[in-house]
Amino acid sequence: MKETCFHCGLDVPESVKLSVEFEERARPTCCAGCQAVAQSIIDAGLGSYYKQRTADAAKAALPPDEVLAQLKLYDLPEVQADFVETGADNQKEAVLMLGGITCAACVWLIEQQLLRLPGVVRVDLNYSTHRVRVVWHDTQVALSDILLRIQSTGYTAAPYDAHKVEAQHQQERKQFIVRLAVAGLCMMQTMMFAIPTYLYGEGEIEPLYLGILHWGAFIMVLPVVFYCALPFYRGAWRDLKNRRAGMDTPIAIAIVMTFAAGIYSLATNAGQGMYFESISMLLFFLLGGRFMEQIARRKAGDAAERLVKLVPAFCHKLAAYPESEAAEEAAVVKLQSGDVILVKPGEVIPVDGVVLAGESEVNEAMLTGESLPVAKRAEDKVTAGTLNTVGPLIVRTEQAGGNTRLAHIVKLLDRALAQKPRVAELAEKYASRFVLGELLLAVPVFIGWMVYADAHTALWITVALLVITCPCALSLATPTALAAATGMLAGRGVLISGKQSLETLAQIDDVVFDKTGTLTKGELSVSRTVALGSLGEADALAVARALEAQSEHPIARAILRHTGAEQVHEADNIKVMQRVNRIGHGVSAQVEWRGETQIWALGRAEFVAGISGSLPDMPEASHTGSMVFLGNQRGFQTAFLLEDEIKDGTPEMVAALKAQGLRLHVLSGDRSAAVAHLADTLSLDAYRAEALPEDKLTYVEALQAEGRKVLMVGDGINDAPVLARADVSAAVAGGADVARDGADVVLLNDDMRVLPQTVAQARKARRVIAQNLRWASAYNLIAVPLAVFGFVTPWIAALGMSLSSLVVLGNALRLLKK
């Protein structure tokens, strides 16, 4: 029986013995082309394509560009199913892992190349993790075009897979260690051959032995030049192809120049200096600096990577629940809304869902920063990435994959780590121009020293200049500090998501708070009802519940929870039509009840007065809590008095923010008595009560007109406009999605004490970035004249350049300290 090709489905010729390994079995392929394409799909973690396709792929001849043919496979819907999401306006979004990035300038180049593609909407490239999130219009550009553009720029890209990324990091680490070890051994050997030439003067060593020393040094430097220096050659070649001057360009030129000069000296038997020991020392120190930089970069971006790795690859799916609790292994990426899974003790919950059965405690520290476990039982919600610690839980899936809260957090982190403060953008432009200026400066320096001294002196001074002035420290100054600061805050349950928000947060003068749900718990309860008309309490509660049945507002939830003095029996007999909800005012509707139809309203006094007329006298006007009114066309009927509690930790938060020199305000749509009482209790600087959404907007704009930088903290839908207008916005845990999505800072837990910590971290990050930039600039200002005037040897230049980068990285890592 003839075998068929695993990839295309055609018969495999008997003379062909080609195969690919898939699911621990060798699968036959009909030609080298099919073997290469299939292997690429499997290596990229997309082997599920061969399970999902409904028919064998059509046999087609590979085009001359085999790489393009392989990339085109990523455009297949069945291949994209595992890693591409479809968002608003039919936009596609994918997370890719990149290879070949050597410095922060590479990030800029990839971003610019992708953004020039028509149809690419956004590119968020995380320098710390080498992960890029790309959003594009599928009708204008294909995913294969994006991958091809990255590849043609000189880098590699593939769909993100946490396990593959870890394997890639381990492989890169191993290569670094091997290159560093080879460079170190060769450095010692070349120095062994070079030391006699240092100790004895010209002509004191016999020509035979001098030749042995020179040839020995030449042989020992070959692995350094042709193996250890490969990353620098690749980077320089990539820069050349993209017509730019990058960090690797001057280093590659210096290595090639020195090696060429050494070969020339060896061939002409010119003197005792052979340069080979300088090359090996130069590469050893450069690789050592890069290796330390890689470790520091990964440490700085560790928070984002840990979040990505939280969700397991497999879970226990209950296919026949509740009839049967028999579990089967299932891939998490295949889970859909409504699927039921079993989460055993010690396992990470893979989805956002609702507990159907079981009781346990869940550790949510990775997401919220809260170390104490949270009790979970039937009907409680659970979040992907949290750890089940005590008992088994049966969970119904609500969101999986890219729609979970954890995935949203990772997106925000990627966006935060891709942001560039204005000072960083200026530094990048300066660094690129500096490299170009350095290359131009090297020409007159070489010529001048050759005229003044000799070619040997001119060469090593020029090489030292090219190496010591490489602006790596300048390029690292900002991204490493941002990664460290953002990662530290993420560990405390604070997400920085807005562009340049960390930079702006360090400059704020005023903090403006919403009241309900922000400074207070937002868990309002009806303390009592006051009759203003002939309607009884039970009837008033029935109508109020009917009006608020579709609302998630804290006031609505308080009314829906309240039982009242009597049991409500008639709520189901109330028919509500033409409901109108005015944000910040209240809700009104046409209500059919007890044989008559009337307009009812529930909300602020002036809103209800538009239907019910003027408000009667209120003896409880001194009530310091919230108050809403119910009325109809016959007048006001009932007042609901509501109480709320100040959040735990809020007084400490206020005291800490005041100690930082900030002015604090509260804006609320609540009654003056309630807001004034809160402001007095917390010793706030200013307050505004009975504020509509447009009033809050005007208040913040007035502060900004005075030249103040404003941080707005809120949680509700009515806060969305003012959150967008503030210089920096923060949304608290449990807030409305529209508030969280539009905020620059998201607080994942209810402990408001993290807010002053966030401001302090932002100010510290700003200081560290400024220190790094000053150090990098001062280093270059000092290093250039020292190198030009010949006070630096090439190996000292390499050591100085590496140490300058490590100083910047070490300073940035201080931001990880608690």
In a domain, 351, yes or no: yes
Residue 98, beta-bridge partner list: 157
Residues 6 or more apart whose Cβ sits within 8 Å of residue 17? none
Distances (CA, A) of 167 to 150, 164, 265: 21, 5, 44
pLDDT value for 571: 52
803: confidence class by pLDDT, cuts 50, 70, 90 = confident
Mean pLDDT of 60-74: 56
Highest mean pLDDT among 22-26, 104-108, 165-169, 374-378: 374-378
Per-residue H/E/C for 337-390: CCCEEEECCCCECCCEEEEEECCEEEECHHHHCCCCCEEECCCCEECCCCEECC
Structure tokens at 528: 């009592």
Listed range (198-207, 263-272, 734-743, 775-784) with the worst mean pLDDT: 734-743
Q: Is residue 323 part of a domain?
A: no
User: Are 289 and 369 members of one domain?
Assistant: no
Residue 652's pLDDT band (cuts 50, 70, 90): very high
**Same domain for 214 and 143:** yes
The pairing of strands 745-747 and 728-731 is: parallel
- Give the model's confidence band at 61: pLDDT under 50 very low, under 70 low, under 90 confident, else very high: very low
Tell me, yes or no, whether 721 lies in a domain. yes
| Any domain includes 173 | yes
Q: Which long-range contacts (CB under 8 A, 24 or more apart) does 453-456 make?
A: 455/261, 456/261, 456/271, 456/273
What's the pLDDT score for residue 623?
A: 64
Least confident window among 604-613, 619-628, 718-727: 619-628
Residue-wise pLDDT tens digits, 465-506? 887 776 666 667 777 777 778 778 877 878 787 657 788 888
Do 592 and 515 fall within a single domain?
no
What is the C-alpha separation between 652 and 25, in angstroms, rounded? 62
Contacts of 652 (CB under 8 A, 6+ apart): 753
Average pLDDT for the chain = 79
Q: Which of 514, 644, 670, 715 is catalytic?
A: 514
- Residue 403 burial (CB < 10 Å; 0-12/13-18/19+)? middle
Residues 724 and 760 grouped into a single domain: no
CA atoms within a 13 Å half-sphere pointing along the CA-CB vector of 623: 21
**Residue 195: count of CB within 10 angstroms of its CB:** 12
Would 2 be classed as within a structural domain? no
Q: Assess whether 157 and 206 both reside in one domain.
A: yes
Task: Give me the pLDDT at residue 631, please.
Answer: 92
Residue 15 has pLDDT above 80, yes or no: no
Domain boundary among 729, 748, 767: 748
pLDDT reading at 541 higher than 50:
yes
**What CA–CA distance (Å, rounded) separates 715 from 740?**
8
Which domain covers residue 606, as residue numbers? 525-643
Q: Are residues 183 and 296 in the same domain?
A: yes
Q: What was the pLDDT predicted at 483? A: 75
Q: Identify the CA nearest to 223 among candidates 179, 255, 262.
A: 179
- Indicate if the pLDDT at residue 307 is higher than 70: no
Are 119 and 247 found together in one domain?
yes
CATH number where 358 lies:
2.70.150.10
Residue 661 lies in a domain: yes
Quick check: helix, strand or coil at residue 21?
Answer: strand
**566: exposed, middle or buried (C-beta count within 10 Å: 0-12, 13-18, 19+)?**
exposed
Q: How far is the C-alpha of 94 from the C-alpha of 82, rounded, in Å? A: 10
Q: 378-413, pLDDT tens digit by residue? A: 888 888 888 888 888 999 998 887 777 777 777 766
pLDDT tens-digit series, residues 191-228: 888 777 767 766 677 777 777 888 888 899 999 999 99
Question: Max CA-CA distance within the chain?
Answer: 122
Q: Is the pLDDT of residue 134 over 70?
A: yes
With respect to residue 321, please indicate whether it lies within any of the assigned structural domains: no
Domain end: 599, 617, 643, which one?
643
Report how far apart, in Å, the C-alpha atoms of 363 and of each of 209, 345, 347, 373, 556 are: 71, 11, 11, 4, 31
**SS3 of 244-268:** CCCCHHHHHHHHHHHHHHHHHHHHH
Point out the least confidently predicted range of 14-23, 363-372, 430-439, 659-668. Answer: 363-372
- Our count of domains for the chain comes to 5
> In a 3-state reduction of DSSP, which class is residue 691?
coil
| Residues 23 and 47: beta-carbon distance below 8 Å | yes
Q: Six-digit token pair at 98?
A: 């990149």
Q: Is residue 779 very low, low, confident or very high in pLDDT (cuts 50, 70, 90)?
A: confident
Which helix (H) or strand (E) segment is 808 a member of? helix 794-813
User: 319 in a domain, yes or no?
Assistant: no
| Residue type, position 170, single letter | Q
For position 719, which CATH number holds?
3.40.50.1000
Q: What is the pTM of this model?
A: 0.64
H/E segment holding residue 488: helix 472-491
Among 29, 57, 74, residue at a domain's last position: 74
Same domain, residue pair 662 and 810: no
- Let me know if 514 is a catalytic residue: yes
For residue 664, pLDDT beyond 60: yes
Same domain, 60 and 96: no
Are 175 and 241 contained in the same domain? yes
**189 and 230, same domain (yes or no):** yes
Residue 295 pLDDT grade (very low, low, confident, very high; cuts 50, 70, 90) = confident
DSSP H/E element including 153? helix 143-153
pLDDT in tens, 673-722: 788 888 888 889 998 888 877 788 889 889 999 999 999 888 755 666 77
* pLDDT 10s digits, 326-342: 888 887 877 888 889 99
Q: Quick one: 102 and 212 in the same domain?
A: yes
CATH of the domain at 569: 3.40.1110.10
